[in-house]
Amino acid sequence: MAKPFHELKSKMKPERRKAAEERARRILAEMPLQELRRARSLTQETLAKNLSVRQAAVSKLESRTDMYISTLRNMIKAMGGDLEIIAKFPDGDVKINQFKEINPDEDSAKPA
């Protein structure tokens, strides 16, 4: 019979548990959109409703290797997150802020 994970985890040596937790963090830190959606416990149908598109469109988006930043941002927002773009250099990281969301209502309200 299978044992609950928390029982197995409590029997692990501290260094082994730490190594397993670090591995889990690395795995969760990088994943394709499809796995991210699943990890967020969302179906393609639910995400499609959040995006106001059909389920087939979500399927296509998840299989793409290239897309607009705005499309990716919308997808991440529909999953409940925010998108940040970070450039990594040997001497430090830089958050790119050029891709902030444009709100057309705010632009039209500003005087010319």
Interval 17-28: pLDDT, tens: 888 888 877 776
Strand extents, DSSP E, the chain: 85-89, 92-96
Question: Domain range for residue 92?
Answer: 29-109
Q: Is the pLDDT of residue 34 over 80?
A: yes
Q: Residue 13: inside a domain, yes or no? A: no
Please state, in angstroms and rounded to a whole number, the distance separating the CA atoms of residues 18 and 84: 28
Instruction: Answer whether residue 3 is part of any domain.
Output: no
Query: Has this prediction a pTM greater than 0.75?
Result: no
Q: What is the pLDDT of residue 85?
A: 92
CATH code, 60: 1.10.260.40
Distance in angstroms (rounded) separating the CA atoms of residues 82 and 68 = 15
Residue 5 pLDDT > 80, yes or no? Answer: no
In a domain, 57, yes or no: yes
- Tally of domains within the chain: 1
Whose tokens are 């997808």? That residue is 75
Q: What is the pLDDT at residue 30? A: 79
Q: Within a domain: residue 44?
A: yes
Is residue 76 scored above 70 in pLDDT? yes
Amino acid of residue 11: K
pLDDT value at residue 108: 39
